[in-house]
Amino acid sequence: MKQIATTIFLLGIFLLSLGFAKAQVLDPVKWTTSVEKVSEQEVFLVFKAKLEKPWHMYAQNFDDGGPLKMVWTLNENKDFKKIGAVQEITKPHKERDVVFDVNVAFWSTDVVLKQKIKILSEKKFKIEAQVKYQCCTDEQCVNFTKYFPFEIEGVKQNVTENFNKSENLADTLVGELNKLDTAIVEIDETTEKTDTFAAITPISNASGEIDLSGDSLLWLFWISFIAGLLAILTPCVFPMIPMTVSFFMKEGDQKAKGRFQALFYGLSIILIYTVIGTLVAVLFGVSFANWLSTHWLPNVLFFIIFVFFAASFLGMFEITLPNWLINKSDSQADKGGVMAPFFMAFTLVLVSFSCTGPLVGAILVKSAGGAVIEPIVGMLGFSLAFALPFTLFAFFPSWLTNLPKSGGWLNSVKVVLGFIELALGLKFLSVADQTYHWGILDREIYLAIWIVLAILLGMYLLGKLKFSHDSHSAYISVPRLGLAIVVFSFAVYLIPGMWGAPLKALSGYLPPMSSHDFDVNKIVMQNGNQNLKHDALPEKPKYANFLHLPHGLQGYFDYEQGMRVAKQLNKPVFIDFTGHGCVNCREMESNVWSDPRVLDMLANDYLVIAVYVDDKTQLPENEWIKSTFDGRQKKTIGDKNADLQITKYNVNAQPYYVLLDSEENLLVQPRAYNLNVDEFVEFLENGLKAFQNKNEK
């Protein structure tokens, strides 16, 4: 009997501990920090993270519109300056997220990250690094903000010594080009045969800080290579092939010398373009990437640049560089000698700028979000394709007789590129619009512009629309007709998106579905349930201009306002602790909330309060709070809501669903991620019964 009692007691303790474990503040990542010396004036701040299974932690760089990216903050001061961004020494795993339909990057193993800094102080000083990141399992997600203090020893400043430590730009350029050359040559022999591309072997510098992702770099290289081929077909470049190649025919019978100069000419084109990419990488670094991808200013600027170049392509005006610059380069080429091919190449780059500028700019913008090496790889791919025909025709001048004559078809290529520039430029404006909740480029407006552009392009290809520089054509060629069919088919594909079709193939380029005002799927779902009344709310919800509930539900997004209205209506409350980047939250909304029984109760029996724990919107100063959990000021909607969840329920994971009465008392035990619809319906029904029982007493 005593053994039975002991067993029951221990079993009770075990079950109690399980129940307590479900309602605690989760912290699946254990961090350690250290300082690693690089040189007399440079050190690494080292961050090591140990992840508990089965958690995974999202990385810094992947597609927008999905889970929360890791964001580091290290404010510079007079004591130090940052060198680049936080480096991911442990490379993240990359895959397609089926819920958000975007490419994501994350770690599920131990992680090492490093931030290089340059010491400017001669005295000991302190630094505090901040990181915001998201961790998830298959059932829940948690957002974290961590602070890491460092104490750094000062060093004596020596101007001469600093100058001699390869701080100048030329040394840096040479170093980066050498690393690029090594990375391209070395191929990883251990790559599985099932891979689409062979992976480039990770190349590390002395500190082990560079590790290249083969697939992404090869993809960037081939995209840039295609852009280089397109640049050849523009009116600024194509006519220059016979003009420039004729330069190498002046050597007469000296074929060996002519071919040497032709080869040097092609290499010079590659060098000039690649140096442009290297300069962008060295001068701005990867720390520039986060600002480029999220701040409104660069995104609006890129949009204006794309529109500007598109207007030029469509014939509104010509973009030209100053004549003195082109003439100076041309005069150097005329002097001959071994450097003549280099100045010929430089002249070609300058003269062709009005057509290659938009393509080069697009590559640099695309590659700016990655590591330092990516702009170099992008420009290498572009310049290799761009230089190829010039070099080949210089080697074999007789091929020139087989080239089609330049004419109106080249201008047609330029116009087509102009339409593409307009369409792609909208992406930058859309990013700024979503990040700052402007509401000027919602999904249906974005799609409407794309549909109109596609139709106009199709009409142009059929000869129904002409621009000032177009030549008259009596008939339409078969390739042009084929391209028109493709463009019109694309427009037809886009049209259902105006009524809520997901258009998954374009999800990475379109604004999110939450910005779509007229979603037929949502309306049908709502009308399919006759009891889905959506009574008018007594108060206009705060933040409703940029926060929305799924499936057309009405509710509140501010906890205090929602509880005040619930008390006024004497209604039970459904608290949804959620986040913009919470994958499991979207799964619950798609698979559980969409059930007619759940929708009916959420719409009519409960007052829904969606509490976003990751929204970055700044609160007015009078709404800031000081956390009783960590003692820090909470200045954004997300930080305030995350603190609410931790302090009231001792939980920091999402999704997390809480049922309360109007006095903020729990009706039933809260619930987390679970795709069983029947159990969720039972959860809501039990909450209603508990609320009714309290009212009857």
466 or 101, higher pLDDT: 466
Q: How confident is the model at residue 364 (pLDDT cuts 50, 70, 90)?
A: low
Residues 194 and 274 in one domain: yes
The average pLDDT across 405-422 equals 70
Residue 201 confidence (pLDDT) above 90: no
Residue 278 confidence (pLDDT) above 50: yes
Of 221-225, 552-556, 664-668, give the range with the top mean pLDDT: 664-668
CA-angle at 631, arms to 56 and 136, nearest 5° = 10
**Residue type for 116, please?**
K
Whole-number pLDDT of residue 523: 60
Q: How confident is the model at residue 192 (pLDDT cuts 50, 70, 90)?
A: very low
434 within some domain: no
User: Where among 140, 167, 194 does a domain terminate?
Assistant: 167
21 within some domain: no
Residue 517 confidence (pLDDT) above 80: no
Residues 207 and 142 in one domain: no
236 or 179, higher pLDDT: 236
Residue 80 confidence (pLDDT) above 70: yes
Alpha helices (H) along 246-372:
255-284, 287-294, 296-313, 323-334, 340-351, 353-367
425 within some domain: no
CATH code for position 120? 2.60.40
Rounded Cα gap, residues 491 and 488, in angstroms: 5
Whole-number pLDDT of residue 54: 87
Whole-number pLDDT of residue 19: 43
The string of DSSP letters for 58-97 reads E-S-S-SSSSPPPEEE---BTTEEEEEEEEESSPPEEEEE
Residues 691 and 617 in one domain: yes
Rounded Cα gap, residues 510 and 448, in angstroms: 11
User: Where among 167, 191, 209 does a domain terminate?
Assistant: 167
Residues 507 and 525 in one domain: no
Closest CA to 64 of 35, 7, 32, 105: 105
Whole-number pLDDT of residue 203: 30
412 within some domain: no
**What does the pLDDT look like over 64-78, one tens digit per residue?**
777 888 989 888 788
Q: How many domains does the chain have?
A: 4
Residues 509 and 524 in one domain: no
User: CB atoms < 10 A from the CB of 642, how many?
Assistant: 27
477 or 448, higher pLDDT: 448
Residues 343 and 388 in one domain: yes
User: CB atoms < 10 A from the CB of 194, how many?
Assistant: 5
508 within some domain: yes
- Residue 494: give the domain boundaries: 442-515
The average pLDDT across 358-387 equals 65
Residues 507 and 556 in one domain: no
**What does the pLDDT look like over 598-620, one tens digit per residue?**
988 998 899 999 999 888 888 99
User: CB atoms < 10 A from the CB of 502, how many?
Assistant: 14
Q: Which residues does 661 contact at the CB level (< 8 Å), separation at least 6? A: 572, 573, 667, 691, 694
Q: How confident is the prediction for the chain on average, in pLDDT?
A: 74
CA-angle at 215, arms to 209 and 219, nearest 5° = 115
**What does the pLDDT look like over 214-266, one tens digit per residue?**
456 677 788 778 877 777 766 456 545 555 555 555 544 455 666 677 777 77
The average pLDDT across 172-193 equals 37
Residues 105 and 220 in one domain: no
CATH code for position 575? 3.40.30.10
The average pLDDT across 552-556 equals 88
Q: What is the CA radius of gyration of the chain?
A: 30
- What DSSP character marks residue 133? E
175 or 26, higher pLDDT: 26
Q: How confident is the model at residue 301 (pLDDT cuts 50, 70, 90)?
A: confident
Residues 205 and 327 in one domain: yes
User: CB atoms < 10 A from the CB of 172, how many?
Assistant: 17
Whole-number pLDDT of residue 425: 78
Long-range contacts (CB closer than 8 Å, 24 or more residues apart) made by 455-462 = 455/488, 455/491, 456/419, 457/416, 457/419, 457/487, 458/484, 458/487, 458/488, 458/491, 460/412, 460/415, 460/416, 460/419, 461/412, 461/416, 461/487
Residue 171 confidence (pLDDT) above 50: no
Residue 679 confidence (pLDDT) above 90: yes
Q: How confident is the model at residue 491 (pLDDT cuts 50, 70, 90)?
A: very high
676 within some domain: yes
The SS3 assignment for 129 reads strand
Whole-number pLDDT of residue 165: 42
Residues 49 and 163 in one domain: yes
Q: Which residues does 251 contact at the CB level (< 8 Å), separation at least 6? A: 257, 258, 261
Q: Which residues does 505 contact at the CB level (< 8 Å), separation at least 6? A: none
Closest CA to 443 of 98, 104, 96, 65: 65
1 or 270, higher pLDDT: 270
Whole-number pLDDT of residue 494: 92
Whole-number pLDDT of residue 32: 92
571 forms bridges with which residues in the sheet?
none
448 or 523, higher pLDDT: 448
The average pLDDT across 388-415 equals 64
368 or 220, higher pLDDT: 220
Rounded Cα gap, residues 632 and 109, in angstroms: 30
627 within some domain: yes
402 or 71, higher pLDDT: 71
**What does the pLDDT look like over 140-170, one tens digit per residue?**
888 888 889 998 888 876 543 443 443 444 4
Residues 524 and 510 in one domain: no
Whole-number pLDDT of residue 18: 43
For the whole prediction, is pTM greater than 0.75?
no
Whole-number pLDDT of residue 325: 45
Residues 496 and 544 in one domain: no
User: Where among 515, 537, 567 does a domain terminate?
Assistant: 515
Residue 456 confidence (pLDDT) above 90: yes
Residue 492 confidence (pLDDT) above 90: yes
14 within some domain: no
The average pLDDT across 97-124 equals 86
